[in-house]
């Protein structure tokens, strides 16, 4: 799912998605932890919320720093659903962020991850143009497909 623009209801919608995706233990949700440091490929990534195999990150934690495709592969193995808040508009000035985001979406798509995003811009405007235009077209197409009923009905491919 994709929430844009970020407004007073976005955080509530993201939290509702997180709670719906979190596994149920008996009659109650399992323990939801907040501000959890995760060790992924020897690097620390801070999760906003964690509940078993559902995790919620800020975009900057996942894509603004020393991350590689291996980080996203490991996340895709460990989690069946990932929420990412505050995805910025990317373009020529932010090619490193865009490149990492493309890798993240590719791995999550290939593994059948349920991906929920929030951004200030609509999906069609997420990339404002630049050297990764072709690659980002595929990413936008995948993000649109990842919102379809058919994709959401697929199982996690760890």
Tens digit of pLDDT for each residue in 50-87? 998 999 999 999 999 889 999 999 999 999 999 999 99
Residue 94 is assigned to a structural domain of this protein: yes
Residue 109 is assigned to a structural domain of this protein: yes
- Quote the pLDDT of residue 62: 96
* Residue 25 pLDDT grade (very low, low, confident, very high; cuts 50, 70, 90): low
Residue 48 is assigned to a structural domain of this protein: yes
- Quote the pLDDT of residue 30: 66
Residue 113 is assigned to a structural domain of this protein: yes
- Quote the pLDDT of residue 152: 86
Residue 12 is assigned to a structural domain of this protein: yes
Task: Kindly tell me if the per-residue pLDDT of 147 is higher than 80.
Answer: yes
Residue 158 is assigned to a structural domain of this protein: no
User: Which residue range forms the structural domain that includes residue 124?
Assistant: 2-153
- Mean pLDDT, the chain, as a whole number? 92
Percent of the chain with pLDDT over 70: 95
Residue 23 is assigned to a structural domain of this protein: yes
Please report the DSSP string for 18-59 in residue order.
Answer: HHHHSPEETTEEPPPEEEEEEEETTEEEEEEEEETTEEEEEH
150 against 30, higher pLDDT = 150
Identify the H or E element spanning 73: helix 69-78
Largest distance between two CA atoms of the chain = 50
Q: What is the pLDDT of residues 108-123, one digit of tens each?
A: 999 999 999 999 999 9
Q: What is the pLDDT of residues 38-50, one digit of tens each?
A: 999 999 999 999 9
Residue 43 is assigned to a structural domain of this protein: yes
Model's pTM, two decimal places?
Answer: 0.92
Domain count along the chain: 1
Quote the CA–CA distance of 41 and 100 in Å, as a whole number.
15
């Amino acid at each position: 799912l994709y929430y844009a623009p970020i407004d007073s209801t976005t955080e509530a919608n993201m939290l509702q998605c997180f709670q719906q995706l979190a596994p149920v233990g008996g009659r109650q949700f399992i323990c939801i932890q907040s501000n959890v440091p995760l060790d992924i490929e020897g690097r620390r990534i801070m999760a906003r919320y964690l509940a078993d195999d559902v995790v919620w990150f800020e975009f900057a934690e996942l894509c603004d720093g020393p991350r590689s495709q291996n980080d996203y592969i490991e996340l895709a193995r460990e989690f069946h659903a990932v929420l990412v808040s505050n995805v910025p508009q990317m373009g020529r000035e932010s090619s490193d962020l865009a490149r990492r985001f493309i890798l993240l979406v590719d791995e999550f798509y290939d593994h059948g991850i349920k991906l929920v995003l929030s951004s200030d811009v609509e999906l069609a405007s997420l990339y404002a143009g630049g050297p990764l235009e072709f690659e980002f077209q595929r990413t936008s197409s995948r993000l649109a497909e990842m919102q379809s009923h058919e994709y959401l009905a697929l199982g996690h491919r760890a």
